[in-house]
Amino acid sequence: MKIKLFWLLILIFYIPITLADKGVVLVLNAPLFKDMDYDSTIVQYIRQGTIIYIHKKHIDDFKIKSTIEENTYKGQNRNKLVLNSEFYETLDRNANTAFIPAQFVKLITNDGNESKQPISNYLHDPTDYRHDEPLPKQYPLYEPKQFRSGLNLSLGSPMDANYNYPTEIAHKDLGYFAGINFYYVKNLIENPMNRFFLGGEIFVRRTISEYHLNNAFIMSTEQKIIYGLGPTFVFDIFKRDRYIISLNTSVLMNFHNYHIYQDKQNSRHQTYLRDDCVYQGYSFSIHPGITMQKSVIENFYLTVGSKISIHLPYSLQNKTGYNHDLFWAEGENDIFKSPLSYNIDFHLGIQGTY
């Protein structure tokens, strides 16, 4: 009885083998599915180069279709893979029926039909989970950068705000604002996506404008220097490995130091009388903007962007007095007063992350 049972088991095992041919796995880690469905249970993984049994029906069907194609397109190069099924039937390690995706296998037909199948169906193996060396720094745990600091050079449009001259202005030659600013921001702990930063900014801006006063042969030169300091907020709206686009807003307290020179000229435009005064005071301004950052080397970015500088109304007081009444307004009118104004800045700079 035991001998009969032994031969019966041998026969049960031998029947599927005799009805099978072989194939070689083409991908690094091919899954075997319990059913002909990608959502079914994966029962085993098979490594690249492993020879597996493929049900004979797939081999026969492949040969028939290859012959039909060869006769239909006789004389043409038909070196292509002919897949007659999305899955091939095979056996797992326990000799149970399983199914492997057809594109992961090259059938072994031992005839010319093998040349009709490519060695690989992919430019990149979808099952290859390995990383190319050298491995990225901090792999496998990535620690986002917590700090940013940067230095920008800026050029801004003129602002039409001038001293309260006692004589009407005949001609204006407004200068552009040139500036430099430094900022330092830190990622907020509450932000797991590492997109929101809070910090501070300091800047210096300078411009020179000239005014020709009406019917008085007076030329005035206003040299304006503004120092700003305050908090800044940054939010990254777009992030990739090499590019970042950020929205930013600064709320700054400004110290204004304006030096005004006035020259009285004769009909030959020769100066024969000169005076100057310094006007100082404080103001507040808001600077919303956008910045694009491109990584050039590790932790180092080039930045370019633009801001709208909104200046709240302010007035500056004469801090030095004057020598000639001809040039200046009298009493309470001797001030530099600016209404609500704005200008646009464009900046270029560098930024480090750490």
Average pLDDT, the chain: 85
Residue 130 lies in a domain: no
Residue 251 lies in a domain: yes
Please tell me whether residues 111 and 157 are part of one structural domain: no
DSSP-assigned states of every residue in 101-164: EGGGEEEE-SSGGGGGS-S-S-SS-TT--PPPSSPPTTTTS-----EEEEEEEEEE--------
Residue 341 lies in a domain: yes
Please tell me whether residues 182 and 281 are part of one structural domain: yes
Please tell me whether residues 340 and 251 are part of one structural domain: yes
Please tell me whether residues 267 and 317 are part of one structural domain: yes
Share of residues in the chain with pLDDT > 90 (%): 54
Please tell me whether residues 197 and 324 are part of one structural domain: yes
354: which DSSP letter?
A: -
Among 8-22, 205-219, 311-325, 332-346, name the one with the lowest average pLDDT: 8-22
107-156 pLDDT tens trace: 887 776 677 677 777 778 888 888 778 877 767 666 777 899 999 999 99
- Total domains present in the chain: 2
Q: Does position 233 have pLDDT exceeding 90, yes or no? A: yes
Residue 300 belongs to a domain with what CATH number? 2.40.160.20
Question: What is the pLDDT, as a whole number, of residue 126?
Answer: 86
280-304 pLDDT tens trace: 999 999 999 999 999 999 889 999 9
Residue 138 lies in a domain: no
168-200 pLDDT tens trace: 898 999 999 999 999 999 988 666 577 899 999
Q: Does position 66 have pLDDT exceeding 60, yes or no? A: no
Please tell me whether residues 178 and 323 are part of one structural domain: yes
Tokens of 128: 């290859």
330-342 pLDDT tens trace: 888 899 999 999 9
Residue 307 lies in a domain: yes
The mean pLDDT value for 260-280 works out to: 86
pLDDT band at residue 78 using 50, 70 and 90 as cut-offs = very low
For residue 209, give its domain range: 147-353
Residue 266 lies in a domain: yes
Which residue, 205, 252, 234, is CA-closest to 292?
A: 234
The mean pLDDT value for 56-81 works out to: 54
Please tell me whether residues 85 and 21 are part of one structural domain: yes
98-109 pLDDT tens trace: 999 988 998 887
Residue 96 belongs to a domain with what CATH number? 2.30.30.40
